[in-house]
Structure 1
Amino acid sequence: MSPPMPLKKQQALSQSKKIKGPTPGYKHGHVAGIPVGTTFSSRKDCNASGVHKATCQGIFHKDRNAYAICLNGEYENDVDDGLRISYTGAGGKTNNFETKKGICTDQDWKTAPNRALLRAHQERKPIRVIRGYKLGSIYAPRKGYRYDGLYRIYKVYTKVTDDENRYRLCMYELQRLSNQPPPPWETKSIPHRGNNGQSSM
């Protein structure tokens, strides 16, 4: 008779047999249960909801696909006109997690996040847009983060910075899609999600 399997091995085997359902957020379009205008206390709450799974980077991407961007004042070349956005790609800094807006090297279209957004443009995929309180825009929330709906990238190009360094930037022009609820700055009722995605009003 074979000896009993150790408990830890039994648990590991049991976990490996579980069928995992789809993770919210790893698809294009809206996330179920997250209406346009939903606010979040932190990037961790955005992650828990699935609307933007990256907790530090501006571009949420996986397996060559880009699903969402977060505008929060990371790059001085970003321009927010509400329904239209000029968005700076990833990279160009010694540390992508630093809060400085300055660029110290060229950005590269071949990096994974920039390539994923470029593919979204080529395939006309919608991109979820989240605005953060550090954006410094009249369209941004005063605190926390907010899901502002779906946009589509209609133009991509390389921009050269105006300073003496002449760094090259990957730029994306986005337009808000019309077939969805109006933007949050035109409405007053805004749901809130805090404590890792728990909903409240």
Structure 2
Amino acid sequence: MAPRNSHKPRPLSRPEVEISSKDSDTPPEFSPKAIASSGTKWGQLTWKERDIPESLKPEALRCAAAWIRDDLDPLVAREGPKALGQDEIISIHTLLILMQQHQIPLHTLRFSRIHLAIDELRGKATRWPKMLVMEADCVVEYLVSTYGPLKHIRTPLYEKGGRLSGVCLPGDITKQALINRFRQQNPELVDNTRAYVHGNAKFTAGQWWLNTIFAFRDGIIDNKCNNGGICYDEKSCYAIVLTGKNEVESMSPETFTYRCGPEEPGRHRLVARTFRARYPIRVLRSHNLASINAPRAGVRYEGLYKVVGWALRPYNTSENDKLQALYDVKFERDDPFPVDRLMRIPLAEDVDDYKAFKLSLRERLAEEDSRQSSELLDDVRRKCVIDVELPKVQDAPVVFRPRLERPTQDTRNSSQLLDDVRRKDVIDVEIPKDDRAHEVSPTRPQRPTLTSSKFMASHSPKNSDVAEDR
């Protein structure tokens, strides 16, 4: 059997030809106007980009990617390759062959995420049929040679067609910045009273958001429970957001027990003995919920639940040792949306958007930290600079002023000038004489002092004999 990487893409025998932009068969996605908006000139396109079949259109590729990632891949991972039917294998094999024979534009790859589906198909420990894995290797090799590594093909998020297009900007990285952005778009987007409605409030179970801020923008909860908690007013309770350890004793997604803290606002609305407290409540689960029923990412709307009972549990605080009570409120599901479909959410595209959103936040935070650190370093350097006022030329000593201001031709070289300066700096100190050297010793006779003439005469060569006789 041939090795896995020995299978090469099929060669293209059809030559490149010129096709007029006025052809009536040109798909709207690849019209001159659409290509110009993507940054590619129409004259630079080859026949591979213009004669795209229907199965390689952006919408068709997006549906194929969702079918592979959300339906077939979990089935193959759970039951093996025998779970696939012949029609499914033939459809995927035909798609892989067409992707090797046509060049798919980069914006189509980003929109459809088909490259992510094929990369998962050929991933490690895959259970897909080997024939499909070999064809997927060829497609990935072809895409890498054309566009580079697949990890560099980023998911569109803020661009046109992305999830956050027209919702916010990449620079809105804080909660307050997002709320200000929503208020600029429409003041009604930050109105809490939109969430104070019983029932589904025009929402469907299974809807998904990146975080609670965007759920608040759509109006399913108010701004007070962005970090989890109860959405309520002075009349009733309308929704709850499960985060952390709020969910206890959850045997199935249809029933759970919600534990309220001793100081959690709105807890009395859940257990009030009024007719408004008997209305179903909207329940949302966050990904940071410590439960097996939590979504993989983001925030998911679970549907309507009703309160069927509650109990009080003692809670001893460590601060003031006062005995307080915890409210354990039991909920049961009251929504027709199937639970098995609910547990599959978020889908693969939702997880891609969540990863892209988190990556964008990390990059923006890193840029902000780098900017703040550089500004702080500049401030520290500015404070540490010592301003020293240098002496001016006219403040110099008079001795050096003519030489510094008006050098003449008679100026001596640097060594002579340095000698003069050193000579002027010498301090002449008169050394006291030793008077004892001229005192006459009483025991030792004084030697006569010879004059220079006699000394020279006695040591001259002519008078050497006379000196010896003496």
| TM-score bracket relative to the smaller structure | 0.5 to 0.7
State the one-letter code of the partner of 1:117. Answer: L
* Correspondence 1:113 to 2:266: yes
Following TM superposition, by how much is the alpha carbon of 1:121 offset from its aligned partner in structure 2, in angstroms? Answer: 7.5
Aligned to 1:175: 332
SS in 1 for 2:295: coil
Change (3 A) 1:141 1:128: same
**Corresponding residue for residue 300 of structure 2:** 146
CA displacement, residues 67-99 of structure 1 (integer Å, 9 cap, x when unaligned): 011111144x6333311110012444xxx7xxx
* Mean Cα deviation higher: 125-134 or 135-144: 135-144
1:132 aligns with 286
Identity %: 24
Deviation at 1:113, TM superposition (A): 0.2
Distance 1:148 1:25 in 2: 16
What is the CA distance between 1:137 and its match in structure 2? 1.9
Q: Does 2:243 align with 1:72? A: yes
Gaps of 5+ in 2: 1-187, 354-470
TM-score (norm 1): 0.63
Is structure 2 residue 254 aligned with structure 1 residue 83?
yes
SS class of match (2:195): coil
Find the residue that maps to 1:119 and give its secondary structure: coil
Secondary structure of 2:215's counterpart equals helix
Given candidates 161, 186, 194, the residue that maps to 1:24 is 194
1:63 alignment partner, SS class: coil
Task: Find the aligned partners of 1:22 and 1:55 in 2 and give their Cα distance.
Answer: 12
Q: Give 1:163 deviation, angstroms.
A: 10
Report if aligned partners of 1:65, 1:120 keep a CA contact under 8 Å in 2: no
Larger relative contact order (CA 8 Å, sep ≥ 6) = 1
Of the two, which has the highest radius of gyration?
2
Aligned-pair CA distance for 1:139: 1.4
Task: Choose the corresponding residue for 2:204, options 25, 32, 35.
Answer: 35
TM-score between the two structures when normalised by the length of structure 2: 0.29
Q: Compared with structure 1, are the counterparts of its residues 43 and 22 closer, same or farther at alpha carbon in structure 2 (3 Å cutoff)? A: closer
Structure 1 unaligned spans of 5+? 1-19, 97-111, 195-201
- State the SS of the aligned residue for 1:116: helix
Distance change >3 Å, CA 52–CA 158, structure 1 → 2? same
**Equivalent residue for 2:230?**
59
The letter for the 2-side match of 1:56 is N
Tell me what 1:48 maps to: 217
Give every structure 1 segment of 4 or more consecutive aligned residues whose post-TM-superposition deviation is greater than 4 Å: 20-23, 161-167, 186-192
Change (3 A) 1:188 1:172: closer
Choose between structure 1 and 2: higher helix proportion: 2
Secondary structure, counterpart of 2:197 in structure 1: coil
SS in structure 1 at match of 2:194: coil
Name the counterpart of 1:198: none
- The one-character-per-residue Cα deviations of 1:134-192 (angstroms, maximum 9, x if unpaired) are 113221111111000000001011023599977520110000014x2123435568696
Q: Cα RMSD (Å) of the superposition?
A: 3.4
Distance, in Å, in 1 between the alignment partners of 2:345 and 2:326 is 36
Aligned length: 154
